[in-house]
Structure 1
């Protein structure tokens, strides 16, 4: 049995003929040789002073510190100021949201005569409301200062009542959410009935 040469192996692997250059490589000029540097003629830098310059203290008088304010929310207040509804004003189709919101209020026999587009928490005390219904995560975060899901809020308030300062609060779903998730309307109805019972018990 004869041993195969390298060319036989390359031919079997269909790697022959071996590629060859058609033109010679261009001449690349070589870098000139570096001449050694005489370090004795290099001037040495003067030594650094031993004293360290301390940075000047910051002047905080010109620095303005602003606290992060919670975003405003829409506030609806009933005719007799017994109930308030806080909700995010920027979501969903406005007309459909308004229609559903109006139907939800009619279902619990509440008529709201005051509608504040950009309200703050201070306005709750100004109008002397007794129960607050918060609709949506954004409004709940603005009012309560905690960012969590509506399901988490509902779970918490089913165990123990939730308060904003001394006001009882019921957190429920935003009408825009209910338009896209109609199966949650039954839960929202339970929350509205809970708020109405709270009001009747005061």
Structure 2
């Protein structure tokens, strides 16, 4: 038998064809299985969805403690002692320099950022009142406080952005008030003053 004849016989060997086809089928089925495989459910993950975000900030490195207070529809109230009520969440309570120091790998790191963050994770109809309060003074000086209110959905929109000055410890100011209609529309943005610190039984 010539070399050409032996090669031709090998090419048409039924066992080789069968083995190749089986291998091809398994490869195809494996790829299909990968495409249809569902990823494992991720437990313990919280959706940070918010409709409105309010940030209250004051100069970096300032040791004074400024707090945000808020009330919403149906008597909901949020402040440093009650970080969540209804759809309002105080996501960050900043105490000036009191909680800005951390030890990482044996090295002390200071975060100079002073900022409190409040989120509203729904659109219940009614009025929201946002106040700032000069809780504790370390410097006995005035503190400029910047308040930023943004509507997140359906697109990011700045509703209010302004800096106000808190003169001394205990000073409280209403920085922004707004209402939501039954359809979830923002109306009546104003700064009509209303004390929340005195009204809330601490």
Which structure is larger by alpha-carbon Rg, 1 or 2? 1
Higher share of residues assigned strand? 2
Higher share of residues assigned helix? 1
TM-score (norm. length: structure 1):
0.21
TM-score (norm. length: structure 2):
0.21
